[in-house]
Amino acid sequence: MIITCPECKRKYRLEDSQVKAPYEKMRCSRCGHIFVYDGGRNLKTEEKVFTGPLSAGPSAFAETPVPKKSRKGLMALAAGGWYAWMNHLMAGNRRLKLQNVEGQETPIRDGKIFLIRGTVANNSTKPRKYVILEAKLFDQQGAIIGEHLALAGLPLSSDDVRQMQKPDIEKKVAEFRKANLGAFVLSPAREIPFSIVFPNTYSGKPKEFSVEIVESPFL
């Protein structure tokens, strides 16, 4: 399949087997843009999104010529850019609010994880198709020792994970990502829980963490 970064338009050729579930998260290796792929459901081609490193050789990339535009065309382009910014980028995220966020290193049956929990509230008048969060862990010196992306909608408590092993947690997250698409939707004036788990993706002793919304298009 061919996947196009919605930010810089770079094209990547991936085997179908590399995309294991709807809403696969990816990161463009060219411009660093984070996006999410939903298996092509109800999206225009340029809106298909993913997150996680992408790899592609020179043959997978094709430049698209940019036609000359009239003044009227430039005005339409500006209006379209404003709409995209409001609906798909950080402007829309300003109407979302992270609430009751807490994070701690938690012992589990076969080791330890760092678990971050909270909720996302939708203060806009439109539903969100999904919400992608990015969490980071920092050590005593403020250096990043772990980064992780997650879909909002999965509730995991500290008590839940203490009774689980790492493969159990990974299975739980994978099953959630394959759930009915309605599990990802955030309706207006509603909240959705999130759980971000760092199983083996950090080293050292975390001192601080951060969470931010990186993708939340309107439905």
Do residue 195 and residue 138 come from a single domain? Answer: yes
Q: From CA 104, how far away is CA 70, in angstroms rounded?
A: 55
Do residue 112 and residue 198 come from a single domain? Answer: yes
Do residue 129 and residue 27 come from a single domain? Answer: no
Do residue 99 and residue 54 come from a single domain? Answer: no
Do residue 54 and residue 111 come from a single domain? Answer: no
Do residue 36 and residue 123 come from a single domain? Answer: no
Do residue 53 and residue 121 come from a single domain? Answer: no
Query: 217: helix, coil or strand?
Result: coil
- DSSP single-letter state for residue 200: S
Is residue 162 in a domain?
A: yes
Residue 96, strand partner residues: 122
The pLDDT assigned to 212 comes to 93
Do residue 41 and residue 120 come from a single domain? Answer: no
pTM of the model: 0.62
Is residue 68 in a domain?
A: no
**pLDDT in 10s for each residue of the chain, 219 residues:** 677 777 888 777 777 666 665 566 677 777 877 777 665 443 333 333 333 333 333 323 233 333 333 344 334 444 444 444 444 444 455 689 999 999 999 999 998 899 999 999 999 889 999 999 999 999 888 889 989 899 999 999 999 999 999 999 989 988 888 887 788 899 999 999 999 998 766 778 888 999 999 989 888
Is residue 75 in a domain?
A: no
* CATH code of the domain containing 194: 2.60.40
The pLDDT assigned to 183 comes to 81
Q: Tens digit of pLDDT for each residue in 122-163?
A: 998 899 999 999 999 998 888 899 898 999 999 999 999 999
- Count of domains in the chain? 2
Is residue 84 in a domain?
A: no
Do residue 126 and residue 42 come from a single domain? Answer: no
Instruction: Copy the structure tokens of residue 207.
Output: 């001192």
Is residue 207 in a domain?
A: yes
Q: Tens digit of pLDDT for each residue in 181-201?
A: 788 899 999 999 999 998 766
Do residue 26 and residue 108 come from a single domain? Answer: no
For the four alpha carbons of 40, 46, 50 and 53, in that order, the dihedral sign comes to: positive
Do residue 114 and residue 171 come from a single domain? Answer: yes
Is residue 76 in a domain?
A: no
Domain boundary among 16, 43, 60: 60
For residue 143, the enclosing domain spans 95-215
Is residue 174 in a domain?
A: yes
Q: From CA 177, how far away is CA 172, in angstroms rounded?
A: 9
